[in-house]
């Protein structure tokens, strides 16, 4: 693809990166076949190839309007197109550059700006979000059914193992997950403890920065990344061997800290080290499976599980089939799911900013996940969990919670039975 970028952007880091990405595209259109929004809307401008042309034209000086902005806003940044692309086009990075460029020129309406600002303030503040969630849970019986369905019930975190092993990893708390599902991090710590790895919950860190970055607040995202690096660095210097990020949406962001802070000489070397240490829980569990497998309680209930691989896991981190292999090895019955490559519609704040498209994608995804009557639906990202749960009565769990229960002795039977009973009750009511 030939490019003639504006002089004002051409020699900047973003401009140079955008030009390299644009030149890699050969217009083949394979990406449209796996783009969720193109499948829903059938509009070339709501597919990766069309958006690439919009970004190219914008960077070359063509007029940009609110319509341009809308087509870019509709992108989920699911990166399914990257998995499909035979030319290796890094579309996810290009669309973030394009959004920022267009937003700076078009601006936002007062209502849209206020909504996006409120989302950032509310979701980035753990105390504010936690308080709002507590209030929402209290008021749940009085809320409209659709709104009440989006508020998850409170769940206990369970026990966090004491630090007793020479091998140590960090588990960042993140922003919304500690309030929504505190058991995920604790379950990860328990599983790792069973294979001789102690997990440290790090205070002082927070949001990974993905929320801000995808809302075109790139400077804010970099500030959040720096804060996290500062909080994690003393533990890394003392020998922590990995940063285990239990939400795949955050994991893919942390893996890109080296790119995010590449132009910051004070942080670039540490950012590169942090990105190299970032791991999804499945990578550690798979590596330790020989030690973990003998601890599986084969007498426990064998649940029928449908697994939804988040886009950030399969397209962002390019991890395919590992979670399914572990769950099957732990005795769960893994059910087939059609179109497992497609997004569920969560995509960070997308489900709030683009509710019609997000709900249509959720409906399609749940239809595929529920086709073989699972007792539980498993996934690997808190956003997918809450979005899917708002549309079904079948329990949605993080896969590490299931693995924790399967390797925890007698507790596994009790928890698995409880999940199965809840699923059966939901099915009988529905």
| 374-405 pLDDT, tens digit each | 999 999 999 999 999 999 999 999 999 999 99
Mean pLDDT of the 133-158 span: 80
**pLDDT tens digits for range 170-186:** 999 888 888 888 999 99
Residue 147 has pLDDT above 80, yes or no: no
Closest CA to 53 of 87, 22, 31: 22
Mean pLDDT of the 289-307 span: 88
Residue 260 has pLDDT above 90, yes or no: yes
**pLDDT tens digits for range 25-64:** 999 999 999 999 999 999 999 999 999 999 999 999 999 9
301: pLDDT confidence band, cut at 50, 70 and 90?
low
Query: Which of 223-232, 239-248, 406-415 shows the lowest mean pLDDT across its residues?
Result: 406-415
Residue 418 has pLDDT above 80, yes or no: no
pTM: 0.90
């Amino acid at each position: 693809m030939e490019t003639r970028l504006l002089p004002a952007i051409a020699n900047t880091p973003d401009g140079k990166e955008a030009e390299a990405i644009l030149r890699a595209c050969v217009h083949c259109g394979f990406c449209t076949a796996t783009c969720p929004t193109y499948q829903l809307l059938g509009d070339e401008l709501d597919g990766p190839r069309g958006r690439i042309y919009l970004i190219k034209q914008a960077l070359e000086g063509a007029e940009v309007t609110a319509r341009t902005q809308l087509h870019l806003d509709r992108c989920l940044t699911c990166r399914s197109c990257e998995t499909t692309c035979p030319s290796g086009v890094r579309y996810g990075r290009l669309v973030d550059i394009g959004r920022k460029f267009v937003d700076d020129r078009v601006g936002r309406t007062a209502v849209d700006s206020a909504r996006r600002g409120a989302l950032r303030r509310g979701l980035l503040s753990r105390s504010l979000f936690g308080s709002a969630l507590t209030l929402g849970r209290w008021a749940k019986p009085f809320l409209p059914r659709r709104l009440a369905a989006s508020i998850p019930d409170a769940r206990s975190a369970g026990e966090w193992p004491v630090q007793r092993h020479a091998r140590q990893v960090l588990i960042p708390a993140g922003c919304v997950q500690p309030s929504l599902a505190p058991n995920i991090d604790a379950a990860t710590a328990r599983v790792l403890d069973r294979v001789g790895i102690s997990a440290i919950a790090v205070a002082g860190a927070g949001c990974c920065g993905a929320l801000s970055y995808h809302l075109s607040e790139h400077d804010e995202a970099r500030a959040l990344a720096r804060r996290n690096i500062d909080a994690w660095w003393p533990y890394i210097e003392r020998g922590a061997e990995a940063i285990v990020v239990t939400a795949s949406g955050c994991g893919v962001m942390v893996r890109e800290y080296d790119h995010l802070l590449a132009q910051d000489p004070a942080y670039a070397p540490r950012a590169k080290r942090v990105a190299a240490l970032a791991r999804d829980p499945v990578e550690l569990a798979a590596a330790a499976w020989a030690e973990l497998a003998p601890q599986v309680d084969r007498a426990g209930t064998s649940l029928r599980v449908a697994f939804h691989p988040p886009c950030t896991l399969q397209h962002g981190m390019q991890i395919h089939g590992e979670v399914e292999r572990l769950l099957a090895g732990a005795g769960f019955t893994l059910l087939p799911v059609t179109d497992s490559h497609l997004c569920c519609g969560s995509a960070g704040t997308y489900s709030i900013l683009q509710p019609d498209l997000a709900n249509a994608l959720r409906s399609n995804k749940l239809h595929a996940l529920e086709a073989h009557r699972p007792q539980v639906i498993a996934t690997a990202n808190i956003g997918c969990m809450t979005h899917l749960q708002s549309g079904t009565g079948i329990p949605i769990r993080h896969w590490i919670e299931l693995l924790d229960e399967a390797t925890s002795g007698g507790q596994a039977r009790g928890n698995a039975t409880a999940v199965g009973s809840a699923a059966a009750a939901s099915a009988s009511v529905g």
